């Protein structure tokens, strides 16, 4: 069973002669433990597709399944999308978007706390993830005291905090240099394997693109599946 599956998804803004068809019959899937790339130029419908996958906007038509559970189906949608986002989707953004007034530890622990886990349990889980991502020594620092690479690792830890089956990473290496980009991508790939998590990475990064074994290229609202080079990450 796929971690995420999208069938014939359509998203149209407006109606009649002013209608804009942002996504046209897009079908895609990501398996558990797989890291898939999503490529596409500006205006190709990438953001709209991400927002549909992230369950923050409703598609006009089509069907999305997450971990076997239908969340959208031709106008019907799951009633509590907020809880779905909290528990089953992890988000990693281009600019990390950590909460600046929370410590690194609390930024990661926030998600389990929102899911009503006890503070102690949430912080224990957060510290485990920070250790895996090798930023545990910065646990009590504020995000502004971290380098870009460290911030992105913390963002990944936050995305993993509730052990979601699917992570959506929106250009996670954009602000990083080549070396750090590869480190972050290697971490994502490792986590996908270890936690059996499906990860979709939106990127323009030429260093990253050859590492995908499978990718989708989006152009004018239409997605094409391609086989990637699947180059290994350097040690």
Contact footprint for another protein (CB under 8 A) = 46-47, 50-51, 54, 56-57, 82-83, 85-87, 91, 93-94, 97, 99-102, 106, 109-111, 113-116, 119, 142, 158, 168, 170
Cβ contact 159:153 at 8 Å:
no
State the minimum distance, in angstroms, from the CB of residue 103 to another protein. Answer: 8
Cβ contact 108:162 at 8 Å:
no
State the minimum distance, in angstroms, from the CB of residue 235 to another protein. Answer: 33
Closest CB to another protein among 47 and 196?
Answer: 47
Closest CB to another protein among 110 and 127?
Answer: 110
Closest CB to another protein among 57 and 209?
Answer: 57
Whats the size of the chain, residue-wise?
Answer: 235
State the minimum distance, in angstroms, from the CB of residue 61 to another protein. Answer: 19
Closest CB to another protein among 5 and 11?
Answer: 11
State the minimum distance, in angstroms, from the CB of residue 72 to another protein. Answer: 14
């Amino acid at each position: 069973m796929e971690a995420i599956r999208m069938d014939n998804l359509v998203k149209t803004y407006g109606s009649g002669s002013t209608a804009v068809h942002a996504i046209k019959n897009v079908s895609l899937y990501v398996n558990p433990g797989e890291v898939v790339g999503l490529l596409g130029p500006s205006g190709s419908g990438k953001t709209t597709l991400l927002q549909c996958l992230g369950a923050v906007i409703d598609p006009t038509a089509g069907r999305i399944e997450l971990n076997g559970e239908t969340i959208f189906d031709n106008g019907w949608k799951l009633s509590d999308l907020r809880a779905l986002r909290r528990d089953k989707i992890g988000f990693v953004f281009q600019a990390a978007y950590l909460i600046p007034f929370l410590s690194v530890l609390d930024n990661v622990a926030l998600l389990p706390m929102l899911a009503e886990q006890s503070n102690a349990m949430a912080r224990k889980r957060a510290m485990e993830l920070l250790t895996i991502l090798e930023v545990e020594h910065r646990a009590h620092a504020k995000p502004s005291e971290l380098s870009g690479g460290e911030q992105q690792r913390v963002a990944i830890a936050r995305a993993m905090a509730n052990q979601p089956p699917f992570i959506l990473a929106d250009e996670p290496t954009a602000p990083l240099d080549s070396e750090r980009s590869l480190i972050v991508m290697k971490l994502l790939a490792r986590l996908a394997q270890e936690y059996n998590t499906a990860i979709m990475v939106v990127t323009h990064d030429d260093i990253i693109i050859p590492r995908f074994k499978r990718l989708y290229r989006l152009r004018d609202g239409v997605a094409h599946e391609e086989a990637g080079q699947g180059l290994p990450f350097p040690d």
